[in-house]
Structure formats: structure tokens, C-alpha cells
Structure 1
Amino acid sequence: MSVTLKYFGLLAEITHCNEEQMELTAYVNTLLGLKSAVEHRFPAFQKTAYSIALNQALCNDDLALKDDDEIAFLPPFAGG
């Protein structure tokens, strides 16, 4: 199963990319599993506040992933 990961702001600086394709294993089939895999790959994520959007909607970590999903890692928002 292949998904698209998008990184914004500080998170893009940590990963040194804005977007990448990732092949998921049978063990990484939920947002929580993906979050854990990304934090293992980029330990600085563990010290950074961020939200996750699945197919352009903010969501909880327990959602199942499907082929061709788009997951965005979003830094904290500021408003005014």
C-alpha cells in the first residue's frame, strides 16, 4: 500500500522535503502506526507539536489507512 506524506513548515525543514511517497507494511496500517514510524525515522518529530490531516481533514490517530491516501503533517496554526 502506497500513501503520500506531505510536510509543512518546521516539519518540512526536519524531513528536508515537502512531499514523499511511502510504502506501508502490514504493521503500519493506521495513522497511529504511521505516526510512530515517522517519529522513529525523524526523532525531532517527538519534540515537535503537530497535527495530522488524512485526505485534507483533521482526524484522530486510530483511523485505518488505504492505498493512495494523502497524509499531511501540520505544524501548529497561528491566527490573528
Structure 2
Amino acid sequence: MKIKVLAFGPLLDMMDRELFVEASDTKALLDTLVKRFPAIADRKIAVAVNGKVANETMVLRDQDTVALLPPYSGG
């Protein structure tokens, strides 16, 4: 099962903008990414699956798109 992962903002300095990962849910996906890109381990990251923010662990399906969004300060 391939999940498309998109990174935004400062996360681009720590990982690839777009990559594909195999994961069964959002927690497993983040665990996999932290192993591959340790610099993101201490970052606060919002996860959106197919355009909807995941506030808890979500099951992923083949060809889902996950966006990793760092917090932004607004004004």
C-alpha cells in the first residue's frame, strides 16, 4: 500500500517535498518518517489525510495523500 506524503513549510528543509511511504495508519506513517528523517521528531506537525485534518490516528488506504503541516503563526 503506497501513501503519498507531502511536506510543507520548514519541514522541506528536513525531508523531501513529496515521497511515497507504506503505512497502515497515520501513527505508523509518522513513526516511519521519524526513522527516515530524525530531524522531524521534535517538531509539532499537523497531519491531513486527503484534505481533512486528522485529530487522532486514522486508517490509511492505498493511494491516500497525507500532508504534513507545521504550525504557522498568523497575523
TM-score, normalization: structure 2?
A: 0.90
> Shift of the alpha carbon at 1:21?
2.0
* 1:69 counterpart residue number: 64
Would you say the 8 A contact 1:30–1:61 is kept in 2?
A: no
Q: How many residues align?
A: 75
Gaps of 5+ in 1: none
> Shift of the alpha carbon at 1:75?
0.8
Q: Secondary structure at the match of 2:14?
A: helix
Gaps of 5+ in 2: none
Q: CA–CA distance in 2 between the matches of 1:14 and 1:39?
A: 11
TM-score, normalization: structure 1?
A: 0.85
Equivalent of 2:35, from 22, 33, 40? 40
1:26-79 deviation digits (Å, cap 9, x = unpaired): xx3010011111011111111211111100111134210001100011110211
Would you say the 8 A contact 1:2–1:21 is kept in 2?
A: yes
Q: CA–CA distance in 2 between the matches of 1:46 and 1:9?
A: 16
Q: Structure 2 matches for 1:1-80, cutoff 5 A?
A: 1-15=1-15, 17-22=16-21, 24=22, 28-80=23-75
Distance 1:61 1:41, change over 3 A: farther
Q: CA–CA distance in 2 between the matches of 1:61 and 1:34?
A: 13
Distance 1:36 1:61, change over 3 A: farther
